[in-house]
Amino acid sequence: MEALLRRVTQSVIMPRYQTLAADEIIQKGEDDLVTIADREAEVMLAEGLTALVPGLPIVGEEAADADPTVLDRLKSDCWIIDPIDGTHNFASGKPPFGILIAMVSGGIAHTGWIFDCLTGRLCIAHQGKGAYINGEQIQAQTTGATPPVAAISVIFMDPEQRTQVKAHIAPHYTLVDTPRCAAEQYPRLVLGQNDVSIFERTLAWDHAAGVLFLNEAGGKVARMDGSAYRVDEQDSTGLIGAASPALWNALATRYQSLS
């Protein structure tokens, strides 16, 4: 897997970093971009994953965008691919961005990989076996700051949600910008850079690997009501990630009080 991730990065992704032509960046939807590198990387990743486990269905972000019936595969054992997570950053010629891969069974990721294309950092998690960065097992760390450090994405919240979050949650935290890249945000919650984060949009390719990684590191990621994140619940929204269960509980309590 590591060889595949590095090969795709070196042969498809990095040659187009900061060299994309205007017609190689496509607007898929509101605040949603795709580049030629995303599409080519997904094809190459899918070919490599098929060679690793022949016959296992694949759910790629770009394939699902072209054919929504691809999402039906999330109900079975499958691979999930985000060929370039942080496409806005990549298209703008700035970091961070990375590759997200997950293996899923029964709607839950059991193995995940998060690869930082610029630094080569590789995060791996196995259900029940812990989380690792570059081969070393890691435990989630908090920042130790008072108030805790929060990266809260309001991009996909409706106006009322944004107002509520800014008025009733933000004052309890030191706010920092989100990286617009789950492949960076989840490691930040493990590495003691951020304490908590709120995600409104929770698509499988953005979160399957990261949720597993943070939970296996001893942090906590769950829906607002405490239920587990499932990749086959594509219509659900809202997810809290935290560097510790205590930090998760504090933010969830505040969030639940808004309803």
Q: Which residue has the tokens 């193995």?
A: 111
82 is in an annotated binding site: yes
Whether 84 has a binding-site annotation, put simply, is: yes
Q: How many CB atoms lie within 10 A of CB 95?
A: 17
CB 190 within 8 A of CB 202: no
∠ Cα 16 17 23 (to 5°):
55
Instruction: Locate the DSSP E strands across the chain.
Output: 25-29, 32-35, 58-60, 78-85, 98-105, 108-116, 122-126, 130-133, 136-138, 149-152, 174-176, 196-201, 220-222, 237-242
Q: Is 85 annotated as a binding residue?
A: yes
Which residue numbers belong to the known binding site? 61, 82, 84-85, 206
Which residue numbers belong to the known binding site for Mg(2+)? 61, 82, 84-85, 206
